[in-house]
Amino acid sequence: MKIIDLSLPIDETAFEMHKVDIERITHKAGVEKFNRVIMGKTLKGKISYVLGKRILRASDVPDEEFLSLEIVHSPVHVGTHLDYSFHYGTKSEGRASKTADEIPLEYCYQDAVRLDLRHKKPAESITKADLELALKNINYNLKPLDIVLIWTGADKFYGTPEYFTDYPGVSISAIDLLIDKGIKVFGTDTMGIDRPYKFMLKEFIDSKDPAKFYPAHFYGRKREFIHIERLGNLENLPAATGFKIVCFPVRIRKTGAAWSRVVAII
């Protein structure tokens, strides 16, 4: 068995549209953090702490080091993650939308197929015809519950401003094809399934046509689907088929998306 990591990290040093911060408390600083937190639970403890009392001293622990602690402040849409219907709106298919902690886990461990769409340009959308041609090129017929990976190569821009501007979107016609074939989860190696803001937003402002603004995401209100954003390393897969994908979402209560360590198992 071989496992291939298809995930991108949560990285506070990478260029992001939303603020990401990882507070890193060192082993040495952990002693003082422990005292401040534990003693801060009561008013008496807070006063004692300010007056210099400590429950734990560095000399009380091996090597004068406590435990490290990292506190991550990040949107759930940073790093490789799964989006579900609550992200798209309050209702999907006429019912209350579902949150990421409600994603059926059986959808997240299935046979998978990689479709090569690297020829698509940033201003373009990946259409039903594009998917049909990509499937024909590898002589593959989709079956229900397959996880479809859309390979654009855009993950090579991760960490730079180009990651947010140089990738193709996914059209409604492509989403319809996948849903009609029984696909529950599909993913892309781009930061989103809609086209980049600089194209999508300009067309919306120029035309005043609401259909130009986040069409793929808003389509999740009409038809329920789950998609993975920010995949990486799809070129490391040895072939377009012959592997399973594991993409279990981190269990966070009532969110529209959840992080996932997506891997291929061969």
Could you tell me the CATH number of the domain that includes residue 98?
3.50.30.50
125 in the same domain as 43 = no
Q: What would the pLDDT profile of 221-260 be if each residue is shown by its tens digit?
A: 999 999 999 999 999 999 999 999 999 999 999 999 999 9
Mean pLDDT, residues 149-157 taken together = 98
In a domain, 217, yes or no: yes
| Per-residue confidence band for 212, with pLDDT thresholds at 50, 70 and 90 | confident
% of the chain residues with pLDDT over 90? 94
Q: What would the pLDDT profile of 71-101 be if each residue is shown by its tens digit?
A: 999 999 999 999 999 999 999 999 999 999 9
107 in the same domain as 35 = no
- pTM value is 0.92
87 in the same domain as 62 = no
Q: What would the pLDDT profile of 166-209 be if each residue is shown by its tens digit?
A: 999 999 999 999 999 999 999 999 999 999 989 988 888 889 88
258 in the same domain as 126 = yes
List strand residue ranges (DSSP E) for 117-229, in order.
125-126, 147-151, 169-170, 185-188, 226-229
Q: Which domain covers residue 109, as residue numbers?
A: 3-10+76-265
Q: Which neighbouring-strand residues pair with 4?
A: 264
| Per-residue confidence band for 211, with pLDDT thresholds at 50, 70 and 90 | confident
CB-count burial class (<10 Å; 0-12, 13-18, 19+) for 57: exposed
What pLDDT sits at residue 240?
Answer: 98
141 in the same domain as 241 = yes
177 in the same domain as 99 = yes
Count of structural domains, the chain = 2
Q: What would the pLDDT profile of 107-137 be if each residue is shown by its tens digit?
A: 999 999 999 999 999 989 999 999 999 999 9
In a domain, 135, yes or no: yes
In a domain, 155, yes or no: yes
Amino acid in the structure at residue 259? W
Give the DSSP letter of residue 82: E
In a domain, 231, yes or no: yes
213 in the same domain as 131 = yes
In a domain, 25, yes or no: yes
* Domain stop point among 58, 73, 88: 73
In a domain, 15, yes or no: no
For residue 210, pLDDT over 90 is answered with no
163 in the same domain as 119 = yes
85 in the same domain as 54 = no
In a domain, 16, yes or no: no
188 in the same domain as 155 = yes
Angle, in degrees to the nearest 10, between helices 27-39 and 43-50: 130
What pLDDT sits at residue 81?
Answer: 98
In a domain, 55, yes or no: yes
178 in the same domain as 108 = yes
For residue 49, pLDDT over 90 is answered with yes
| Per-residue confidence band for 144, with pLDDT thresholds at 50, 70 and 90 | very high
Mean pLDDT, residues 141-156 taken together = 98
Mean predicted lDDT score pLDDT of the chain = 96
158 in the same domain as 52 = no
For β-strands 226-229 and 81-83, DSSP reports them as: antiparallel
